[in-house]
Amino acid sequence: APTGQSSAKVTPDMIQTGSDIPAHWTQPEGNFDYVKRDVMIPMRDGVKLHTVILIPKGAHDLPMLLERTPYNASGFVPNNSPHMADAVWSGDKDWADGSYILVWQDVRGKYGSEGKYIMTRPPMGPLNPTKTDDTTDAWDTIDWLVKNITQSNGKVGMIGSSYDGWTVAMALLHPNPALKVAAPESPMIDGWMGDDWYHYGALRQVNLDYFTGQTTRKGKGESVPRDNYDDYTNFLEAGSAGDYADAHGFKQLPWWNRFAAHPAYDAFWQLQALDKLLPEHPSSVPTMWLQGLWDQEDIYGAIHAWEALTKAGHGANNHLVIGPWWHSQINRQGWHLGPLKWPGDTAAEFRQQVMIPWFNHYLRGTPMAKPLPQAMIYNAVEKRWDRFSNWKVASAQQLTPIYLQADMGLGFQQPAGGGDSYVSDPAKPVPYLPRPIPQKNDNWRTWLVHDQRFVADRPDVLSYTTPVLTKTVTLQGAPIADIFAKTTGTDGDFVVKLIDVYPGTDPSDPTMGGYELPISLDIFRGRYRKSFADPSPILANVVQEYKFRLPSVNYEFKPGHRIMVQIQSSLFPLYDRNPQTYVPNILFAKPADYKKATVTIEHGPDGHSAVLLPVVAHSTASH
């Protein structure tokens, strides 16, 4: 047998010194179909922003697609593949066929970018005394790109969803002339009124994880540590949202302190609401405002930005697209949404057949087979896109009240009177999903289509239902909840859900038998019934009106189905609990402030509770 040991001799090349990691490593890119550049782009104040650029090999005269993000630009190119389409994250694959130069940039102060981070930094002005914002940063970036990326044709399009959709909207306040087309996808537009932070003043407290995720580190921060698997328990045991935040160190976070000092819709929120600012600085950039019908994070932004611009006379270059999607699903697969199945991949088809051809039209002059209409809104019942040339802004709609009636009935006849009461107990708030509700929640994306039968038997949830419909009821527009109620408390929340009750059996899909599908729902904090800026206590035991707009729908209630309106006073733990005792700032309510209240929903005569429905006799949609 070989021995070998005695002749072992150490030569110099065997000796391990220094480091096995070279000072610099360059990936040979001989077989790559693109070139990757990591650059630091200087802004007007000298701060440099980290930017990742993928340029197809041999490219010339290509348009550039820019996304600005607080979520790590490098993460948009997760794979070290020689093929551009394999290198980029799934949402950008359709753009990575060699016909676009792709650009992602870290916003100021996050990940690889220099400078200071401010959460959704307000535009320069009273809330931002500096000389830069995300409008100037987008402007300077585009300026640099067209001057330095010689393979480009000098034209830029911007996309991005949610926060990245907000960066698109910010760029539109004063766009660089090279910005030729834009698609804010599920953009955060007004964080107080109906996007990520509050809905009509009710705090979306599960977003407290977002505060630590974004603002404890320059890179990705941790979520808030949990004592229990079930967030219902975690938030209930914590007390108020402020108690929860204090217990987890939030006082160290400037954003939380600023946020917590402004629970009402004061100047802090009003002056950064982009649906107010965009019409004051309208752009001529062709813009596709895009969101999901059941967008669980930013259901407010796109449609309100589009409506505000349209109302101000800027409808010609602004289009509205609402797909059958959860938040940002436009950038993923769109075969289904929870139990709702579509005939194809609605997201990929939209990207490939509408969005990219539309971008190509403005960025390389390619004619479009079909012009983009004023609005394209998916019809989730007929399972097809409806195209509208006259989708109305909410204020111009004709609305038909559907009234709450005796014996938990619902109908178009105004009832003479009556009412129903329930006890709302902050110690037992109504969950928004069946418990347990883990922090990493698989149902988060689809909670807005969850079967509402899981709460129907609760004594603090009222469900009003029509008889079985014999004719189709078609809704196109924004329903408005118009609730008249009294309470024994001095504050309180109202949750109103418009629901399609499916027939008891469905032979083709038995699991949908009797399904209670929410098609539009929202929450309203009672203290804001007179003014969002100046809250006031509810007068105990006096009937008050609570009127608020629900998310827009393009829906058909079919014969055999029933329409339901459900009312309750909490939606927990997604929204913080209202103590039902008026306190100056609910974020810091004390345990003794949380009190049971008896809530009575009036049918009349002191106000006829109803949901005002955008019923249309004849749809004007084309397909």
Return residues touching ligand PG9 (CB under 6 A). Answer: 120, 162-163, 166, 188, 196, 210, 297-298
Distance (Å, rounded) from C-alpha 167 to C-alpha 270? Answer: 18
Minimum distance from residue 21 beta carbon to ligand PG9 (Å) = 35
Cβ of residue 306: shortest distance to ligand PG9, in angstroms? 18
**Residue 214 C-beta: closest distance to ligand PG9, Å:** 7
Q: Shortest approach of ligand PG9 to residue 175 CB, angstroms?
A: 21
* ∠ Cα 314 319 322 (to 5°): 140
- Residue 162 or residue 465: which is nearer to ligand PG9 going by CB? 162
For the chain, what's the residue count?
623
Cα-based distances in Å from 493 to 179, 238, 294, 378 = 43, 20, 22, 31
The H or E element that residue 411 is part of is strand 409-411
Token digits of residue 618? 């004849």
Least Å distance between CB 120 and ligand PG9?
6
What's the one-letter identity of residue 301? G
DSSP 444: G
How near is the Cβ of 202 to ligand PG9 at its closest, in Å?
16
Pick between residue 144 and residue 255 the one whose CB is nearest to ligand PG9. Answer: 255
Give the nearest distance from C-beta 67 to ligand PG9 in angstroms: 12
Q: In 10-130, which ranges are continuous DSSP H helix? A: 84-87
**How far, in Å, CA of 449 to CA of 443, rounded?**
10
Closest to ligand PG9 by CB, 92 vs 500, is: 92
Extract long-range pairs of 389-396: CB within 8 Å, 24+ residues apart: 389/620, 389/622, 390/620, 391/320, 391/476, 391/477, 392/476, 392/477, 393/307, 393/310, 393/311, 394/307, 394/477, 394/478, 394/549, 394/552, 395/311
Q: Which of 93, 94, 58 is nearest to 77 (CA)?
A: 93
Helix, strand, or coil (residue 303)? helix
CB of 102 vs ligand PG9, minimal distance in Å: 19
Nearer to ligand PG9, 260 or 430 (CB): 260
Handedness of CA 95, 335, 523, 321 (dihedral sign): positive
Decide if 175 contacts 506 (C-beta within 8 A).
no
Q: Which is nearer to ligand PG9, 210 or 350 (CB)?
A: 210
- Closer to ligand PG9 by CB, 32 or 104: give it: 104
- Ranked by CB distance to ligand PG9, the top (closest) residue is 162
Q: Which two tokens stand for residue 175?
A: 């766009």
Q: In the complex, what is the shortest distance from the CB of residue 573 to ligand PG9, in angstroms, rounded to a whole number?
A: 17
Q: Would you say 410 and 567 are in contact if contact means Cβ atoms under 8 Å apart? A: no
162 or 318: whose CB is closer to ligand PG9?
162
In the bound state with ligand PG9, the residue whose beta carbon lies nearer, of 153 and 161, is: 161
Comparing CB distances to ligand PG9, the nearer of 430 and 433 is 433
Structure tokens, 198? 């509050």
